[in-house]
Structure 1
Amino acid sequence: MLAAERRDHLLGLLTREGKIVAKKVAAGLGISEDSVRRDLRDLAAEGLCQRVYGGALPVSPATADYTARQTVAPDGKRKVAALAAGLVRPGGALILDGGTTALAVARALPQDLACTVITHSPTIAAALLDHPQAELFLLGGRIFKHSAVACGAAAVEAAQNISADLCLLGVTGVHPQAGLTTGDAEEAAMKRALAARAADTYILASSEKIGTASRYRVLPWEEISGLITDAAPHDPVVEQLKVLGVEILPAG
C-alpha cells in the first residue's frame, strides 16, 4: 500500500471508529508499527489527528485561534450556554472560564441577575459590564491570546484565594479514554486551579468537541459534577461517558 493510500486509510479509521490503534492497523495492513507511527506523526504535524499512547484520536476543532473559534458550532454553544446559565443561582458565586462557549454563557445570564462572577478572561468581564447587579472579579496574569485568558503563576496564585458555588469550565476535547483535555499546559493548570475553588464544576462541551482530544489533560472524570453538551443522547461517546458514571446534562 502506498503512503498516500495508508494516509487515506488512517483518516477513514478516525472518522468511522473515532480512534486508531497502531498495533491493530499494522497487523491488518501487514506493515510494521513503526510505519504506522511515522504516518501518524505526519498526520499530527498537519493537525489532522492527536497522537496518544498506542495510536491516535480525532483532533479537536477548538484548537483554532480565538477569532476562528467564534464561528465554530455557534448554535451548539448557545444551547450549552443557555442550560449552563440556568445553573447560576441568585446571590451565588460563579467561576466562569474563558473561551467562546463561556462567552456565550456570559451573554445568556439574565441582566438583572444578582450574583458574583469570577473570571480570568477580560472578554468575559467586558461582556458583563452591562449587568448592573453582577459583581465582577477579574483574575490577572499573563494573557494567553489563543483563548483570551490570564494564565501562569500569578493567575494560579490569584485563583487560590477565591471560592465559589459553581465553576463552568471549557475544554477543547472530551474523550472517554483521553479524558478532558486542552491544547496548552499552562491553560490546563489554570483550569485545574479554578475548578479546585468551586463546590461544583460543570464542563461546557458543544458537540464538535465530543470524541476528540488535545495534548494536555485538565481533570479526571471523578472531579467534575457533570458535562453539559448538545451532543445526541445516544451518541456512542456520550453512552461511553455514562458508563463511566459521568452525569450528562443534555442541552438539546
Structure 2
Amino acid sequence: MRMLAAERRDHLLGLLARQGKIVAKDVAAELRISEDTVRRDLRDLASEGLCQRVYGGALPVSPAVADYGARRTVAPDGKRKVASAAAGLVRPGGVVILDGGTTALAVVHALPEDLDCTVITHSPTIAAALLDHPRAEVFVLGGRLFKHSAVACGAAAVEAAQNVSADLFLLGVTGVHLEAGLTTGDAEDAAMKRALAARAADTYVLASSEKIGTASRYRVLPWEEISGLVTDTPPHDPVIEQLTAGGVDVLAAD
C-alpha cells in the first residue's frame, strides 16, 4: 500500500532531520514511487520554507533566510558566543573586513571600545555601530542595498571591494553544510562575499549552531578558501566532527 501525500511529507521531513539530506532517487526506490512524485513533494516543502531544494534532492533550510528584523531574535546567545570568539581575532592595529548581518553586529558589540584598528565594511548598520569605537577607523563600501542583511552589493560594491586589502575577513553565511558548503540566499550577496574574501589574508566564517547542517541557494566559497570556522556548535556534532577530520580549523565559541 502506497503512502498518502501527508505520510510522504512526514517521511521526507523525518529524513531531513535524521540524515541531513534527501536523495530523490533513493526515496523513490524506497517508497516505490516515481522521482517526479518525490520532486513534487520537495517543491511543496520548499514553497513552505521547510527544505532547500538542490540537484537530486533537498537539504535542511537555514533559519537565517528570514528578514533582518526577525533574525535578531534567532539564537541570540549563540551569536554572542560566536561574536566574542571572533572579536578575539581582531588584533590591535589590524585591518579587518566585517560582513553585515546580525552576527557581525554582535562582533562590533564584542570589540573593546578603545581598540585601535581599521574596519572595512559594506554594511551601514555595522558602520553606524562603530561610532561608539572612537579609535576604530571605518571605511564604508557602497552599492545597492541588499536589505536582508543591510549590506551593499552589486557591481559598484564589488568594484569598490577590489581596491581594499585586509588582514582578516569575518564572513557571515546563512548555511554551513558538508556537501553544499558555505551558502547564502542571494546571488549578488554571494558574489560580494567572494570579492571581500579575495582581499583578505585570512577568512573566518561566523556560524552559530542553527546554521550548521543547513543550506541556502547560492554557494559562497569552497572549504579550502577559508582559514577557519567560528561556531558554538558542540565539537561532537557530526558535521563539526567531519569538518575537523577534513582539515577545517574549527574555533570553538563557548
Structure 2: how far apart are the matches of 1:144 and 1:41? 26
Counterpart in 2 of 1:131? 133
Moved over 3 A (4+): none
Q: Which of 65, 75, 78 in structure 2 is aligned with 1:76?
A: 78
Q: Which of 103, 116, 119 in structure 1 is aligned with 2:118?
A: 116
| Bigger mean CA offset, 44-53 vs 88-97 | 44-53
Deviation, structure 1 residue 130: 1.2
Deviation, structure 1 residue 14: 0.7
How do 1:181-192 residues align onto structure 2 when only pairs under 5 Å count? Answer: 181-192=183-194
Deviation, structure 1 residue 243: 2.3
TM-score, normalized by length of structure 2?
0.98
Counterpart in 1 of 2:94? 92
Q: Which of 51, 58, 61 in structure 1 is aligned with 2:60?
A: 58
Structure 1: how far apart are the matches of 2:244 and 2:32? 36
Letter in 1 for 2:111: L
Secondary structure (helix, strand or coil) at the match of 2:192 reads: helix
Q: Which of 201, 214, 217 in structure 2 is aligned with 1:215?
A: 217
Counterpart in 2 of 1:161? 163
Letter in 2 for 1:245: G
The percentage of aligned residue pairs carrying the same residue is 85
Secondary structure (helix, strand or coil) at the match of 1:168 reads: strand
Deviation, structure 1 residue 110: 0.3
Deviation, structure 1 residue 22: 0.9
Structure 1: how far apart are the matches of 2:120 and 2:220? 19
> Once the two structures are superposed, what CA deviation does each residue of 1:164-208 show, in whole Å capped at 9, x if it has no partner?
000000000000100000000000000000110000000000000
Secondary structure (helix, strand or coil) at the match of 2:118 reads: strand
Give unpaired runs (5+ residues) of structure 2.
none
> Once the two structures are superposed, what CA deviation does each residue of 1:65-88 show, in whole Å capped at 9, x if it has no partner?
000000000000000000000000
| Bigger mean CA offset, 241-250 vs 146-155 | 241-250
Structure 1: how far apart are the matches of 2:116 and 2:244? 34
TM-score, normalized by length of structure 1?
0.99
Deviation, structure 1 residue 46: 1.2
Deviation, structure 1 residue 52: 1.0
Structure 2: how far apart are the matches of 1:125 and 1:196? 21
Structure 1: how far apart are the matches of 2:126 and 2:109? 9
Counterpart in 2 of 1:201? 203
Deviation, structure 1 residue 58: 0.2
Give unpaired runs (5+ residues) of structure 1.
none
